């Protein structure tokens, strides 16, 4: 038996929520596929990281620096990592993403997908599960529909009995470009 679980943004908001998710996952050995969202709001005055990523893209699109917004995003993920005591190098990934963002080499879809991507990287490390990038198995057709002939067989090849964590919200076009679900 295999159980697939999905956790939304409020479940990924901070280290305390990650601990709750871990306890849920580990309470049932059949829960071996975990899909996560980007970090959501910690309280009513907070921001969803997906919203901040959209804001960062808008800033860049119109030639406005997004350094402070980008710092808010990276700080949240680094705070979660550090509070969980994980040894995971996110700084180099953030630096590369910021470099590409400043050079306008990151599409809006790719940028906003990074919220789920980083949540999944952290949760995989926290659970000692395998991280599987959604872009490696979810393929879209050119019309935006999911290519089930590619995606479903690819999904069956994942994990091989080990738990996996997958970012939600996106996949890849036939040419490899990141595309988010509508």
* H/E stretch holding 7: strand 3-7
**HSE toward the beta carbon, residue 44, CA cutoff 13 A:** 0
Phi (first) and psi of residue 158, to 5 degrees: -85, 150
Q: What is the pLDDT of residue 162?
A: 83
CA distance 3 to 94: 32
pTM of the predicted structure, to 2 decimals: 0.94
CA distance 129 to 123: 8
- β-bridge partners, 72: none
CA distance 40 to 50: 8
Q: Helix-strand-coil percent breakdown of the chain, rounded to 5?
A: 50, 15, 35
Q: What is the pLDDT of residue 159?
A: 63
Q: In b/e form, how buried is each residue of 16-33, taking b as 16+ CB within 10 angstroms?
A: ebbeebeeebeeeeebbb
Q: What is the pLDDT of residue 87?
A: 96
**List of the chain residues with pLDDT < 50:** none
Q: What is the pLDDT of residue 155?
A: 80
CA distance 141 to 143: 5
CA distance 48 to 72: 11
Q: What is the pLDDT of residue 154?
A: 84
Q: What is the pLDDT of residue 136?
A: 92
Token reading at 27? 């309470």
Token reading at 50? 């997906």
Q: In b/e form, how buried is each residue of 91-108, taking b as 16+ CB within 10 angstroms?
A: eebbeebbeebeeeebeb
Q: What is the pLDDT of residue 182?
A: 81
Q: What is the pLDDT of residue 152?
A: 86
């Amino acid at each position: 038996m295999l159980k697939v679980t999905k956790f939304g943004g409020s479940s990924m908001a901070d280290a305390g929520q990650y601990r709750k998710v871990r306890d849920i996952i580990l309470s049932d050995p059949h829960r071996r596929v975990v899909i996560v969202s980007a970090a959501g709001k910690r309280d009513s005055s907070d921001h969803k990281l997906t919203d901040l990523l959209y804001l960062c893209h808008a800033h860049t699109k119109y030639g406005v620096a997004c350094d402070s917004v980008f710092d808010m995003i990276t700080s949240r993920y680094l705070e979660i990592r550090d509070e969980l005591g994980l040894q995971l190098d996110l700084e180099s990934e953030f630096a590369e993403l910021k470099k590409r963002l400043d050079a306008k080499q990151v599409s809006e879809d790719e940028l906003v997908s990074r919220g789920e991507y980083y949540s999944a990287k952290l949760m995989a490390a926290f659970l000692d599960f395998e991280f599987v990038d959604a872009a490696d198995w979810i393929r879209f057709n050119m019309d935006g529909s999911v290519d089930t002939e590619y995606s479903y067989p690819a999904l069956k090849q994942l994990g091989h009995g080990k738990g996996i964590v997958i970012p939600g919200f996106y996949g890849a076009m036939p040419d490899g470009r990141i595309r988010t679900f509508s």
